[in-house]
Amino acid sequence: MRLDSKGRHCIASRVIVASDMHVFGRPKFISHIPAFIFIGLLLGNAPASAQSPAAQTQSPSKPARHDSVEVVEHLSPEEVEDGKLNDLYESVAQLQRKGTCTTDTIQRYQSEVIPPAEKSTFNVPKNKFLFLANRDIGNCYLAQQKFAEAEASFQKILQYAPVWPGTNDSAYPINFRQIATAQIGQQHWTEAEQSLLKSIALFDPQIAAGERSDAELHSQLSLNYRGSQSQSYALLAVVYLREGRIQDALTTVEKAYDEVTKYKLAPQFHNQVLKIGKAIADASQDSAAQRTWSQRSPIQ
């Protein structure tokens, strides 16, 4: 799940493996593992049905921006600043959404978005666009397989998140999963394990709060949170397998599968966990696990 500049949540369902990375630590199995487990659980946009209006993080409210002088005069100075920074950010972010993620894209964030945001005297717009720009830079670095640079970007936004979007927003645990993804790229398995455990733990109170909101608003916010948490569980299972903890890997990916089936989560979550579970079972050489996972089918 990712946030755009207006605070809307977009759940990403793609997980990509770099073809030259021995994620499973068993070279003879690598050629049989499909390319879905590695870079960037946040990359890509979810279909509209995967978005929850109740999950939207609120940026500072402001009237619609028109050419009317009368409307502009009613904007507060902070709202005007937010609008200016948003225009700068969107000019770069729109290119990235189209699939353009080059060195030039990163440099534009660094030269056109970050310096004005750093100079802002308003705390919320400042932290909001520093969060968004550095998050997007981190995702660009992941796509380029520059994992140390990606981790540094994701670590940096931890200082902005408490102000915007807030530590109670799903972007916060998702960011720990992105940190873990970058750490896996560097084969820092212990650090990745800790980051994923943090991500999973942070989702628990958000799921509980989401269930309360679901009851009041007839929404499905908690299901979106559970789906994203299942991604963290699945990636943690990959880390356990790479550490040689085969039983922990099988138990953890089974936990992820239990979640997606018990709560009838969206197909992108179910099918992603299924692919990862089958790959882990095959790499584990556990015949019982291989038999169990082979009998499970994707859903449409």
3-state secondary structure of 174: helix
Structural domain containing residue 67:
61-164
Same domain, 52 and 180: yes
121 and 147 co-located in one domain: yes
180 shares a domain with 129: no
Per-position pLDDT tens, the chain of length 300 = 445 565 544 434 334 333 334 454 443 343 334 334 444 333 433 332 223 323 333 333 444 444 544 555 689 999 999 999 999 999 999 999 998 899 999 999 999 999 999 999 999 999 999 999 999 999 999 999 999 999 999 999 999 999 999 999 999 999 999 999 999 999 999 999 999 999 999 999 999 999 999 999 988 999 999 999 999 999 999 999 999 999 999 999 999 999 999 999 999 999 999 999 999 999 999 999 999 999 999 999
Q: How far apart are CA 211 and CA 214, in angstroms?
A: 5
Q: What was the pLDDT predicted at 73?
A: 60
Residues 232 and 112 in one domain: no
The token duo for 291 is 């038999």
Q: Does residue 150 sit in the same domain as residue 247?
A: no
| Residue 300 CB burial class (10 angstroms; 0-12, 13-18, ≥19) | exposed
Return the pLDDT at 100.
Answer: 82
Domain count for the chain, please give it.
2
Q: Residue 50 is encoded by which pair of tokens?
A: 């995967």
The CA distance from 221 to 85, in Å, is 29
What CATH number should be reported for the domain holding residue 110? 1.25.40
Residue 156 gets the label, from left (phi > 0), alpha (psi -120 to 50) or beta, of: alpha
Instruction: Take residue 133 and report the two structure tokens written for it.
Output: 């720009």
Residues 158 and 227 in one domain: no
Do 21 and 155 lie in one domain? The reply is no
Q: Do residues 180 and 281 both lie within one domain?
A: yes
**Per the structure block, which two tokens stand in for 90?**
């969107």
C-alpha span between 107 and 140 (Å, rounded): 11
Residues 288 and 173 in one domain: yes
Residue 243 amino acid letter: E
Q: Pick the last residue of a domain from 142, 164, 186.
A: 164
Angle between helices 77-97 and 123-143 (to 10 degrees): 10
* Residue that is last in its domain, among 106, 132, 164: 164
The secondary structure of residue 108, as a DSSP letter, is H
Burial class (CB in 10 A: 0-12, 13-18, 19+), 104: exposed
In whole angstroms, give the CA distance from residue 252 to residue 236.
Answer: 7
Tell me, yes or no, whether 78 and 48 share the same domain: no
Where does a domain end: 134, 164, 194?
A: 164
In whole angstroms, what separates CA 294 from the centre of its chain?
28
3-state secondary structure of 13: coil
Residues 93 and 203 in one domain: no
C-alpha to C-alpha distance for 176 and 168, rounded to whole angstroms: 13
Does 140 share its domain with 36? no
Residue 3's pLDDT is 56
Name residues whose C-beta falls within 8 Å of residue 264's C-beta, 6 or more positions apart in sequence: none
Report which of 71, 12, 77 is spatially closest to residue 40, judged by C-alpha positions.
Answer: 12
